[in-house]
Protein backbone atom coordinates (compact mmCIF):
# COMPACT_ATOMS: atom_id res chain seq x y z
CA UNK A 1 0.00 0.00 0.00
CA UNK A 2 1.29 3.44 -0.80
CA UNK A 3 1.53 5.48 2.37
CA UNK A 4 -0.24 8.81 2.53
CA UNK A 5 1.16 11.55 4.70
CA UNK A 6 -0.60 14.65 5.93
CA UNK A 7 2.31 16.98 5.36
CA UNK A 8 2.93 20.19 7.26
CA UNK A 9 4.62 21.53 4.15
CA UNK A 10 4.53 25.20 3.40
CA UNK A 11 5.44 26.35 -0.06
CA UNK A 12 7.18 29.66 -0.27
CA UNK A 13 4.00 33.65 -4.29
CA UNK A 14 -11.16 39.60 2.52
CA UNK A 15 -14.30 40.88 3.24
CA UNK A 16 -16.26 40.74 -0.06
CA UNK A 17 -19.17 38.81 -1.43
CA UNK A 18 -16.81 37.19 -3.91
CA UNK A 19 -14.22 34.81 -2.45
CA UNK A 20 -10.68 35.62 -3.60
CA UNK A 21 -7.13 34.36 -3.18
CA UNK A 22 -4.55 36.64 -1.64
CA UNK A 23 -1.42 37.61 -3.59
CA UNK A 24 2.07 37.68 -2.16
CA UNK A 25 3.48 41.16 -1.59
CA UNK A 26 6.24 41.49 1.01
CA UNK A 27 6.27 44.21 3.66
CA UNK A 28 9.15 46.55 2.94
CA UNK A 29 11.21 48.33 5.60
CA UNK A 30 9.67 51.68 4.62
CA UNK A 31 6.14 50.37 5.10
CA UNK A 32 5.59 52.65 8.11
CA UNK A 33 5.23 55.70 5.83
CA UNK A 34 2.31 54.06 4.03
CA UNK A 35 0.55 53.11 7.25
CA UNK A 36 0.89 56.49 8.92
CA UNK A 37 -0.10 58.46 5.81
CA UNK A 38 -2.86 56.34 4.34
CA UNK A 39 -4.14 54.25 7.24
CA UNK A 40 -5.09 50.61 7.66
CA UNK A 41 -6.32 48.49 10.55
CA UNK A 42 -4.04 50.49 12.86
CA UNK A 43 -6.04 53.67 12.22
CA UNK A 44 -7.18 55.88 9.35
CA UNK A 45 -9.42 55.17 6.36
CA UNK A 46 -10.19 51.74 4.97
CA UNK A 47 -11.25 52.19 1.38
CA UNK A 48 -14.43 50.44 0.22
CA UNK A 49 -16.57 50.12 -2.90
CA UNK A 50 -17.34 53.54 -4.36
CA UNK A 51 -14.36 55.26 -2.73
CA UNK A 52 -11.54 56.67 -4.83
CA UNK A 53 -7.93 55.85 -4.14
CA UNK A 54 -5.97 59.11 -3.74
CA UNK A 55 -3.57 59.84 -6.60
CA UNK A 56 -0.53 59.78 -4.33
CA UNK A 57 -1.66 56.49 -2.82
CA UNK A 58 -2.20 54.95 -6.26
CA UNK A 59 1.42 55.63 -7.18
CA UNK A 60 2.58 53.16 -4.50
CA UNK A 61 0.47 50.23 -5.71
CA UNK A 62 1.38 47.06 -7.59
CA UNK A 63 -0.66 45.96 -10.59
CA UNK A 64 -1.92 42.41 -10.05
CA UNK A 65 -1.56 40.92 -13.50
CA UNK A 66 -2.03 37.26 -12.50
CA UNK A 67 -5.54 37.79 -11.13
CA UNK A 68 -6.86 34.50 -12.52
CA UNK A 69 -4.18 32.42 -10.79
CA UNK A 70 -4.99 34.17 -7.52
CA UNK A 71 -8.70 33.34 -7.75
CA UNK A 72 -9.78 36.90 -8.48
CA UNK A 73 -12.58 37.78 -10.85
CA UNK A 74 -11.78 39.22 -14.25
CA UNK A 75 -11.47 43.03 -14.12
CA UNK A 76 -14.17 44.81 -16.13
CA UNK A 77 -13.03 46.98 -19.01
CA UNK A 78 -11.17 50.01 -17.69
CA UNK A 79 -10.45 48.42 -14.30
CA UNK A 80 -7.46 46.58 -12.84
CA UNK A 81 -6.54 44.76 -9.65
CA UNK A 82 -3.92 46.61 -7.60
CA UNK A 83 -2.31 45.89 -4.24
CA UNK A 84 -0.15 47.72 -1.75
CA UNK A 85 3.03 46.27 -0.25
CA UNK A 86 1.05 44.91 2.70
CA UNK A 87 -1.15 42.80 0.44
CA UNK A 88 -4.44 44.75 0.50
CA UNK A 89 -6.29 44.38 -2.81
CA UNK A 90 -8.39 46.86 -4.74
CA UNK A 91 -10.31 46.47 -8.00
CA UNK A 92 -10.10 50.07 -9.18
CA UNK A 93 -10.71 52.20 -12.25
CA UNK A 94 -7.53 52.88 -14.21
CA UNK A 95 -8.71 56.41 -15.00
CA UNK A 96 -10.21 57.62 -11.72
CA UNK A 97 -9.12 55.18 -9.02
CA UNK A 98 -12.74 54.48 -8.05
CA UNK A 99 -12.98 51.16 -6.20
CA UNK A 100 -15.35 48.41 -7.33
CA UNK A 101 -14.13 45.89 -4.74
CA UNK A 102 -11.69 45.85 -1.83
CA UNK A 103 -10.04 43.04 0.13
CA UNK A 104 -7.83 43.66 3.16
CA UNK A 105 -4.88 41.49 4.17
CA UNK A 106 -5.75 41.31 7.87
CA UNK A 107 -9.18 39.92 7.05
CA UNK A 108 -7.59 37.23 4.86
CA UNK A 109 -5.15 36.39 7.67
CA UNK A 110 -8.11 35.83 9.98
CA UNK A 111 -9.92 33.67 7.43
CA UNK A 112 -6.80 31.54 6.91
CA UNK A 113 -6.33 31.02 10.64
CA UNK A 114 -9.96 30.00 11.07
CA UNK A 115 -9.67 27.40 8.34
CA UNK A 116 -6.06 26.16 8.62
CA UNK A 117 -5.09 26.97 12.24
CA UNK A 118 -1.68 28.60 11.62
CA UNK A 119 0.71 30.05 9.09
CA UNK A 120 4.38 29.26 8.53
CA UNK A 121 7.45 31.37 7.76
CA UNK A 122 11.01 30.61 6.70
CA UNK A 123 11.90 30.37 10.40
CA UNK A 124 9.85 27.15 10.48
CA UNK A 125 11.59 25.70 7.47
CA UNK A 126 13.69 22.57 8.02
CA UNK A 127 16.10 23.36 5.20
CA UNK A 128 16.63 26.93 6.37
CA UNK A 129 17.24 25.84 9.97
CA UNK A 130 19.52 22.89 9.23
CA UNK A 131 21.13 23.55 5.86
CA UNK A 132 21.45 27.31 5.32
CA UNK A 133 25.20 27.12 5.85
CA UNK A 134 25.61 24.21 3.40
CA UNK A 135 26.63 24.53 -0.25
CA UNK A 136 23.01 24.61 -1.61
CA UNK A 137 23.61 23.10 -5.10
CA UNK A 138 20.16 24.04 -6.47
CA UNK A 139 20.46 27.66 -5.34
CA UNK A 140 17.47 27.61 -2.97
CA UNK A 141 18.78 30.38 -0.73
CA UNK A 142 20.54 32.46 -3.37
CA UNK A 143 17.45 32.27 -5.57
CA UNK A 144 15.20 33.14 -2.58
CA UNK A 145 13.05 30.06 -3.17
CA UNK A 146 12.15 29.82 0.51
CA UNK A 147 8.99 31.71 1.45
CA UNK A 148 9.54 35.10 3.04
CA UNK A 149 12.88 35.62 1.28
CA UNK A 150 11.35 36.47 -2.09
CA UNK A 151 10.48 39.94 -3.37
CA UNK A 152 8.21 40.99 -6.23
CA UNK A 153 9.18 40.17 -9.77
CA UNK A 154 9.90 43.11 -12.03
CA UNK A 155 7.56 43.57 -14.93
CA UNK A 156 8.43 44.69 -18.42
CA UNK A 157 10.32 47.95 -18.50
CA UNK A 158 11.16 47.61 -14.83
CA UNK A 159 7.58 48.26 -13.69
CA UNK A 160 6.30 46.62 -10.53
CA UNK A 161 3.70 43.93 -10.99
CA UNK A 162 1.79 41.39 -8.93
CA UNK A 163 3.32 38.43 -10.72
CA UNK A 164 5.21 37.20 -7.69
CA UNK A 165 6.18 33.54 -7.52
CA UNK A 166 5.74 31.98 -4.08
CA UNK A 167 8.69 30.41 -2.31
CA UNK A 168 8.92 27.09 -0.49
CA UNK A 169 8.80 26.22 3.21
CA UNK A 170 8.80 22.77 4.77
CA UNK A 171 7.68 23.17 8.37
CA UNK A 172 6.19 21.25 11.25
CA UNK A 173 6.63 17.70 12.45
CA UNK A 174 5.30 16.02 9.30
CA UNK A 175 7.24 18.38 7.05
CA UNK A 176 10.38 17.33 8.85
CA UNK A 177 9.39 13.67 8.44
CA UNK A 178 9.01 14.23 4.71
CA UNK A 179 12.68 15.12 4.32
CA UNK A 180 14.18 13.14 7.23
CA UNK A 181 15.90 10.66 4.88
CA UNK A 182 17.31 13.45 2.69
CA UNK A 183 20.65 15.12 3.23
CA UNK A 184 21.01 18.86 2.66
CA UNK A 185 21.91 18.46 -1.01
CA UNK A 186 18.83 16.27 -1.57
CA UNK A 187 16.61 18.87 0.04
CA UNK A 188 18.04 21.63 -2.12
CA UNK A 189 17.13 19.76 -5.31
CA UNK A 190 13.72 18.74 -3.94
CA UNK A 191 12.84 22.32 -2.99
CA UNK A 192 13.54 23.43 -6.55
CA UNK A 193 11.06 20.81 -7.82
CA UNK A 194 8.35 21.95 -5.40
CA UNK A 195 8.98 25.57 -6.29
CA UNK A 196 8.66 24.88 -10.01
CA UNK A 197 5.71 22.55 -9.57
CA UNK A 198 3.38 24.59 -7.40
CA UNK A 199 4.08 27.81 -9.25
CA UNK A 200 3.70 26.26 -12.71
CA UNK A 201 -0.12 26.45 -12.53
CA UNK A 202 -0.11 23.49 -14.95
CA UNK A 203 -2.33 20.58 -13.85
CA UNK A 204 -0.77 17.24 -14.67
CA UNK A 205 2.78 18.61 -14.85
CA UNK A 206 5.72 16.63 -13.42
CA UNK A 207 8.83 18.13 -11.88
CA UNK A 208 11.74 15.78 -11.29
CA UNK A 209 14.84 16.21 -9.17
CA UNK A 210 18.02 14.16 -8.81
CA UNK A 211 21.10 14.50 -6.64
CA UNK A 212 24.05 13.48 -8.87
CA UNK A 213 26.20 12.93 -5.81
CA UNK A 214 24.24 9.95 -4.45
CA UNK A 215 21.58 9.27 -7.12
CA UNK A 216 18.74 10.07 -4.71
CA UNK A 217 15.84 11.32 -6.79
CA UNK A 218 12.20 12.29 -6.76
CA UNK A 219 9.32 13.79 -8.67
CA UNK A 220 6.56 16.25 -7.77
CA UNK A 221 3.39 15.55 -9.74
CA UNK A 222 0.79 18.31 -9.80
CA UNK A 223 -2.79 17.08 -9.94
CA UNK A 224 -5.46 19.79 -10.17
CA UNK A 225 -5.77 23.38 -9.01
CA UNK A 226 -8.88 24.74 -7.31
CA UNK A 227 -10.08 27.52 -5.00
CA UNK A 228 -11.19 26.45 -1.52
CA UNK A 229 -14.44 27.82 0.02
CA UNK A 230 -12.58 30.90 1.30
CA UNK A 231 -11.00 31.58 -2.10
CA UNK A 232 -7.47 30.41 -1.30
CA UNK A 233 -5.70 28.95 -4.34
CA UNK A 234 -4.95 25.25 -3.83
CA UNK A 235 -3.43 22.27 -5.61
CA UNK A 236 -3.52 18.50 -5.25
CA UNK A 237 -0.12 16.85 -5.63
CA UNK A 238 1.79 13.59 -5.39
CA UNK A 239 5.46 13.19 -4.49
CA UNK A 240 7.51 10.11 -5.37
CA UNK A 241 11.01 9.80 -3.90
CA UNK A 242 13.69 7.12 -4.15
CA UNK A 243 16.21 7.32 -1.30
CA UNK A 244 18.83 4.59 -0.86
CA UNK A 245 16.89 2.34 -3.22
CA UNK A 246 13.58 2.70 -1.36
CA UNK A 247 10.67 4.34 -3.20
CA UNK A 248 7.98 6.19 -1.26
CA UNK A 249 4.84 7.97 -2.47
CA UNK A 250 3.10 10.78 -0.60
CA UNK A 251 0.01 12.79 -1.50
CA UNK A 252 -1.32 16.07 -0.26
CA UNK A 253 -3.23 19.29 -0.83
CA UNK A 254 -1.44 22.64 -0.75
CA UNK A 255 -3.01 26.09 -0.45
CA UNK A 256 -1.48 29.54 -0.66
CA UNK A 257 -1.35 31.46 2.60
CA UNK A 258 -2.34 35.16 2.66
CA UNK A 259 1.33 36.12 2.24
CA UNK A 260 1.46 34.06 -0.96
CA UNK A 261 3.39 31.02 0.32
CA UNK A 262 2.12 27.48 -0.20
CA UNK A 263 1.02 25.41 2.80
CA UNK A 264 0.21 21.72 2.56
CA UNK A 265 -3.07 21.38 4.44
CA UNK A 266 -3.95 17.75 3.97
Q: Output the domain CATH number for residue 43.
A: 3.10.450.160
Same domain, 252 and 197: yes
Same domain, 99 and 199: no
pLDDT, tens only, 150-193: 443 333 333 343 444 566 666 666 667 777 888 999 999 998 89
Nearest to 14 by CA among 112, 104, 119, 101: 104
Same domain, 238 and 122: yes
Same domain, 74 and 122: no
Same domain, 94 and 176: no
pLDDT, tens only, 90-129: 899 999 989 998 878 788 888 888 888 888 777 877 788 8
With contact defined as beta carbons under 8 Å apart, do 262 and 233 qualify?
A: no
For the chain, what is the domain count?
A: 2
Note the Cα 115 to chain centre separation in Å. 17
What does the DSSP 8-state code read for residue 236? E
Same domain, 168 and 182: yes
Task: Return the number of other C-beta atoms located less than 10 Å from residue 87's C-beta.
Answer: 23
Per the structure, the complete domain to which residue 189 belongs is given by 9-14+116-264
Reported pTM:
0.65
Nearest to 170 by CA among 150, 204, 146: 146
In a domain, 257, yes or no: yes
Same domain, 127 and 165: yes
Amino acid sequence: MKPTLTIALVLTFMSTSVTMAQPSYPIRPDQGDYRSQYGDQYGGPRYSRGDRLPDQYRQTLYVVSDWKQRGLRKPPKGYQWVANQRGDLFLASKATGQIAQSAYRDERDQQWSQRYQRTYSYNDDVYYKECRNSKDPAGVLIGALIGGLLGNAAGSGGSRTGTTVAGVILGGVVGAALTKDMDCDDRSYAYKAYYNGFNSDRPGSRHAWRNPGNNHRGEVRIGSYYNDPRGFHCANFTQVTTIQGRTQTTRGRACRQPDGSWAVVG
